[in-house]
Every structure is written in C-alpha cells, then in structure tokens.
A and B are shown apart, each in its own frame.
Chain A
Amino acid sequence: MNARTHPVPEQFDDPVQQREAATLGMWAFLATEILFFGVLFAGYTLCRVRFPEAFAEASRHTDMLLGTIETAVLLTSSCAVALSVREVQLGGRRLATALLGVTALLGISFLVMHGFEYYAEYQEGLIPSIHYTQQGVYAHGMAIFYCLYYFITGFHSIHVTIGVVLMGVMGWRTWHGAFDQDYHTPLELTALYWHLVDIVWIFVYPVIYLVGRAG
C-alpha cells in the first residue's frame, strides 16, 4: 500500500494517535523481550556468584577479539537503521533503502563471525553434552558457563536472523515507496526491535567475553 493512500483505521482519531498506539504496543513487546533475555542473565548472575573462578576461566576461552568486532558491527548497524528512519522522515528513499541494506549486511556478518566462534569452540571441545573435553577442577563450572553462553548467544542470534529478514522486508517496502514523511510506523518499529537486539548484545559482551581477562 502506498504511504500516501494509507488510511487511518476507524478506532483511531488521527495518524498521531495511531502511531502512539503502535509504538506503545511495540515497547510493551520489547519489555517482554527484556524479561525473556533477563531470565538468562539472572541465571548467569547466580551461577557466576556460585562459580566465580570457573566462569573467569571459561570466559578466557572465548574469542575476545571477535566478540569486540561483533559488538562494533552491531553498534554500527544500530546507527545505520536509526539514520534510515531519519532519512525516511526527511523524505528520502534511496539512501534509506541503502542504509537498511547496510544494516542487514552487518547483521549477516555478525552471524557469520558467530558461526566461526561456534566452530572454534566445537574444535576446542567446549560444547557441553555434544563435544566437551575440559578437565580439571573448573570443568563443571565451565560447563554451566558454556550452557548459558549457548542459550544466550543462540537466542540472540535467532533474534538477529529475524531482524535481518525484517530489514530485507522493510528495505523492499521502502524502495517501493511504502513509507514517507507521514507514514513510516512499521519501519520505526522494526528499528526499535533491532536496537533492542543491540542492547542485549551490549550486555552479553562484558559478561561473556571480558570476565577474568586481567588475570
């Protein structure tokens, strides 16, 4: 549907109220996402208090350089999608589509880098109950760390994958003129989702990659 012909559904007084309702609904969903990942972070916190040395040892087995690059990639992609929404609000279309493409590509590169990490961890024997070869006093605590690691980063990667697909859809719609200064709520909500996935990673980075590095 073309943005210029987008009708306001009858339950809303005007486009402003429609947008307010949509963003409020999106934020309510994002709050549930915060709690979804929050459970995993809460579990992590309790286990780290219980096995501090094992968590530090396990964290030293992760790839800090790749983790840092992945964080930079996601932060940059967040800026790209924010600029894309801004461009649409200012009436642009080409640059907005290109920025969405950049966001999707950065998301894909994040997933590829994470794939390399998983492969390296498989080779190192760091996947509990699939291929786990760690020995010693910390082996049990490290297994708990790696279980949490795969759940947190696995669910995060699923969210990134969904985000990449949504960026593709939004890019396609932006290119075909579905959004303009007056109507761009779907693009705005997709950007909010992407930013939240970025925020989750902002917290994953220090708790997974940076523990016990100074030792």
Chain B
Amino acid sequence: MNARPQRTHKSGPRPPSLGSNLWTLLALLVLLGLSAGSALLRLGPFNTVANLGIAVIKALLVLTIFMRLKTDNALLRIVASVGFAWLAVMIALGLADVLTRTPLLPPW
C-alpha cells in the first residue's frame, strides 16, 4: 500500500543539453589556458589570487553543469556547500593560528 501516489516522471533532473555540456568543456579549457598563461606573468600576490580564483570558477562550472547541482534537488546543493564550508573553516582556523603567531621572548 502506498501512502502517496507513485510519481511517474523520469527519474532525475532533465539532462543538460549537448550544447551546454560542450560549452562548459570549452569554458573549462579556456580557463585552464588563462590559468597557465597568467601564472607566467609577473603579478606578485595576484598570481595566487588569479590561479585560485580561476580554479574556483572551474570547480563551480563542474558542480553546477556536469554534476547538475543547478537543476537537481536543493538539498544536494546544501550538502555540497556544507562539505566546502567545513573545509573553509578548517583552513581559516589553521591559518588564523599560523598568521597571528608572534615570537615571545622569554622575560629573563
């Protein structure tokens, strides 16, 4: 006996179109080129900012299009975000320790 009527639509969100998959791949490869190119330019600390920024954009593209978080259940977006949020907490607290250490001279 079913408490609810059976849902009959095809399981899973509608697949992204062929075009959106291929455009995503193209965007990822262009971003890879940008990442490699910018690393060769002398930008000081902005080398790291650019490289990590591009990596975040690439990861978001994979998460939203290839992994379908854009169209799938909102609960999955929360679980995925939580994974990265805990990681951010771990790195932030770790860095908070290392970056704020000051050498204390012994008082004698």
Contacts and interface: CB of A to CB of B under 8 A. Distances in A.
Interface majority SS (helix, strand, loop, mixed), chain B: helix
Contacts of A64: 36, 39
A38 B87 contact: yes
Given A16-B11, A182-B10, A202-B58, A86 B79 contact: no
Contacts of B25: 75-76, 78-79
A152 to B, nearest CB: 14
A214 B6 contact: no
Interface stretch (A44-52, A115-123, A143-151): A44-52
B12 A28 contact: no
A19 B68 CA distance: 14
B73 A23 contact: yes
A86 B95 CA distance: 42
Interface string B20-40: 011011001100100110011
B79 A203 contact: no
Contact of B36 (A20, A185, A210): A210
B73 A78 contact: no
A61 B53 CA distance: 23
B54 to A, nearest CB: 7
A214 B43 contact: yes
Contacts of B35: 205-206, 210
Given A24-B79, A76-B25, A203-B55, A45 B11 contact: no
Contacts of A133: none
Interface of A: 13-20, 23-24, 27-28, 30-32, 34-35, 38-39, 41-42, 45-46, 49-50, 64, 68, 71-72, 75-76, 78-79, 81-83, 85-86, 89-90, 181-185, 188, 191-192, 195-196, 198-199, 202-203, 205-207, 210-211, 213-215
